[in-house]
Structure 1
């Protein structure tokens, strides 16, 4: 019985640490998402006539935003949000 209580206490501690990590992941992803979205909006005007490097950077930002959308959705699911 004592071992079961100890095990339950350890599981509770691990669950709390996991939730805290998910919250940090979510916060960081949301912050970066806002930064990327702002960069996309700044780059959007005139992107068709921009250099290949600028167009590649724009495409990379759009791709990153998509990946961040996935990370945010997964973290919210884990956190029940």
Structure 2
């Protein structure tokens, strides 16, 4: 019985370490996604004027930025949820 208790304690310790690593990774993901969102937002604002008259490549780049912004919002929301934060 004592060996079983020791194994359980060891497993709980391992789970605690994994939980800490997971939280650290989520925080890093959140920080980088928020940073990238600022960068993408600046690029969108720069590209917005005249996008209708831009060439195909310019319009595609604009659409790619819009898509990336949406993806970043999703990543941020998921990271905040994982960290127990409310959306902003």
TM class by shorter chain equals over 0.9
Rg bigger for which structure? 2
- Gaps of at least 5 residues in structure 2 are none
Matches within 5 A, 1:66-77: 66-77=70-81
1:40 aligns with 2:44: yes
How many residues get paired? 81
CA RMSD of aligned residues (A): 0.5
The Cα offsets for residues 29-80 of structure 1, whole Å up to 9 and x where unpaired, read as 1111110010000000111111111000000000000011100000000000
TM-score (norm 2): 0.90
Greater relative CO (CA pairs within 8 A, separation 6+): 1
What residue is the counterpart of 1:24 in the other structure? 28
- Gaps of at least 5 residues in structure 1 are none
